Amino acid sequence: MRRASFCCSLLASVFAASCVSWGDERAPQQPLAATAATEPVADPPIAATASDAVPGARWLDLEGDVARQVTVRRVPRRYLGHPTTVLLPDGRSMLCVHPEGHGRGPIVLQRSDDGGRSWSGPLSVPENWATSKETPTIHLLVDPRSGRDRLVLFSGLHPIRSSISNDYGQTWTPLAAIGDFGGIVAMASVVHLADGDYAAFFHDDGRFFRGGGKRTQFTVYQTRSSDGGLSWRAPTVVWTGAEMDLCEPGVVRSPDGKRLAMLLRENSRKQASQVMFSDDEGGTWSAPRPLPATLTGDRHVARYAPDGRLLVSFRDMASGSPTRGDWVAWVGRFEDLEAGREGQYRVRLSRNWRGTDCAYPGVEVLPDGTFVLVTYGCWEPGEAPFLREVRLRLAELDALSTGPEPVFTRPFGAVRPTVRIESWWTRRVADDLAAARAGGHRVVFLGDSITQGWNKEGAEVWREVWQPRQALNLGVSGDRTENVLWRLEHGLGDALAAANNDVRVVVLMIGTNNATGGECPAEEIAAGIEAVVRELRRRLPRAKVLLQSILPRGKKPDAVRTACRRASELAAAQLRDDPLVVHRDYAAHFVGSDGVISAEVMRDFLHLTAPAYRTWANALLPDVEALER
C-alpha cells in the first residue's frame, strides 16, 4: 500500500513524540480508535532500538508491565496533572498532592498507608486550596527549635503561597503568601543545608516575580528558611540569562554531602538540559553545562537507592530519542553527573500517548529499596490524563539488563480519531452535526479556529460570498487532524453524505494545532492531513477536496512555520494522484516579501483579521467556483 511505504520511509528520520492533543486553547483531548479510509491509512510505529538514537547507557523498557503499576487517581474526562509526593517518617505512609487541571486548578490531597500500594480518595483540605494557580509541591521539613516535623505545601505564581501541617497532613493552614514575590513551580526543590537552614529553589520568566511583569528572560531563584519553613527570606538569583531558558531546578546532594548538583530543564529546546554545581551549600554555583542526552528532559527529581546509585525521574525531551515525550528514569551515580557521562540505565517507565504532556514526578524510596514513582500522563488511548505509580527496585533493573535491548514503538497520534474532553467542544460539535443533518449544503469548510473564524472576523464576507453558495462552516477552534477524524467518524461524515445534502466541494485546512510547540514532526502532521482527506474521499466519493496548505504563522519564519509548510508539501505529494483532490497554497497572500506577517493580517500572528478574511475569500473563490462545476 502506498500509505504504508510512505510511512516506512519516514521512520529512519523521525524519533519525535506523537502529538499532544492540545489545541489553540491548549486543552486536553483523548485519542480513540484508528480511522478507515479509501486506502487504509496505517498507524505506523516509529521504531528503533535505543542505541540507534541516543547511545551510551543501557536502555530498558517497563511499558506494559502492569504488575508494577498502581492507579493513584483517575476521573473520566477530567484532567489530573502534576503530582508531587512525600514519604512520612514511618517509611510507609505517603501523601500526594496534585491539581485538577494543567498546573492551575484545585489542589487534591491523597494518602497511602501501605507504601503506595493503594491510595485514598481526595481528603479534606482548606477551602482556598481551590484557588491554586500553579503546580503544587509538598515537602517534609524539620523545625530547628523543636525538632518536630512539618509539612509545607507550596503554590506558585504571584505571590508564592504556602500551607502548613504539623500533624502529618491531618490538618492544614489555609494558603498564605510567604512574601511579596512569585514564581513558577514553587518550590521545585527544597534542600536541608549544613547550618540547619532550608534552601528552596524555583524559577520565573519575568512575569510573576514581582507580579504584573512581562516575559523577559528566565531566572532561577533561591530562598532560605531558618525556622523550618514558617518564613522565607527574599530570594536571590542563582542564574539568569538570555541564551537559554533554564527552569524547574532539581537539586540533589552528593553522597559525601559536600556538593550540590542542580539539574535544569532547558525550555527553549535549543540546547540540552543543563547542570550546575555548588561546593558552598548553595552560596555560589558553577556556570551551567550540558547534561548528556540520557538526562535531557523536564522536571528532574532524584533520589538515592540503598546501594548509592541515583535514580532521576523526568520527562524525556531529548532530540532524536525514541521515547521523547514519555516518562523515563535515569540510573547512574553522582559522579556520572559530574563527569557528564550517560549513566548506567535509561528506563522508560510508561508510554505517554499524547505527545509530551506528562511526568512532573514524585519519587520516594521505601526502607526496602523500592522506588515509588508517581506522575501524571496520558497513559491510555482514549482517556484524559491521570495519576499513575510505577514501582521498581534497582536489582530488578539489573536483572532486566541481561535480556535483549528493547525496541521502542511510537504510533502516529495524528491519525488516531480523538475526542476532546471540554464541554464547550462537545456542544460545538453537536451543533455542527445538527446543522449538517439539516441538509441543503453544497460547499463545506472544515478545519480549526482559522476556519471557525468565518463566523466572527470573517462573518461579513461569509454572508456575502459563501452563504449564497449554500456553504457550511465546520471549523472548530483548537482542532487537530485527529479531532476532525473523530468528528467525521462520529456522525458528521454520514450527515454530509446524506441525500438531503449535495456536497460538491470540501474546503479543508487542518494541522496548525498539531504543530504548536513543535510537538508533532512534519511527517506526522502530513500523515494526519492525508488521513482526513482519505476519510473525506471515502465518505463523499463524488465531492472534490480543496486541500489548502496550512497558513503560515508566527511573526517571522521559525521551526513551527517550517513544519507546517513541510507537512503540507508531504501531504499534497501523497495525494497528487487523486484527480478529485486539488492542492493550493495561499501563503503569498498573507506574508510580506521579507517573510514577516503583519498584525494587520493576523492579529496574534495565527488568527486572521477581518480584512484578511476578505483576502482569503478572494483567493479561494475562483478555485471553489471551478470545483463546483
Mean pLDDT by 10 residues, the chain (629 residues): 33 34 36 33 45 72 95 93 97 98 94 98 98 97 95 97 98 98 97 97 96 92 98 98 96 98 95 98 98 97 98 94 94 98 97 88 96 95 88 98 86 86 92 98 98 97 97 96 96 98 98 86 94 98 97 93 96 97 97 94 95 97 95
Beta strands in 172-296 (DSSP E): 176-177, 184-192, 198-204, 218-225, 236-241, 246-253, 260-266, 274-278, 289-290
Query: Tell me, what's the pLDDT at 52?
Result: 52
Residue pair 432/492 in contact (Cβ under 8 Å)? The answer is yes
pLDDT reported for residue 23:
34
* DSSP single-letter state for residue 171: S
Residues identified as active-site = 449, 604, 607
The residue among 558, 6, 59 whose CA lies nearest residue 321 is: 59
* Number of residues in the chain: 629
pLDDT at site 597: 96
Determine the pLDDT at residue 411.
73
Q: How far is CA 327 from CA 11, 360, 389, in A?
A: 22, 9, 11
With cell 483523548, the residue in question is 30
CATH classification (class only), 2-47+415-628? alpha beta
Per-domain residue ranges of the chain: 2-47+415-628, 48-408
Q: What pLDDT is stored for residue 43 in this prediction?
A: 39
Count of CB atoms situated within 10 Å of the CB of 128? 16
- Tell me the C-alpha distance between 211 and 264, whole Å: 24
Residue 26: per-residue pLDDT = 35
Q: What is the CATH number of domain 48-408?
A: 2.120.10.10
Q: What letter would DSSP give residue 68?
A: G
Half-sphere exposure of 232 (CA within 13 A, CB side): 29
Angle between helices 559-575 and 522-539 (to 10 degrees): 40
d(CA 164, CA 391): 29
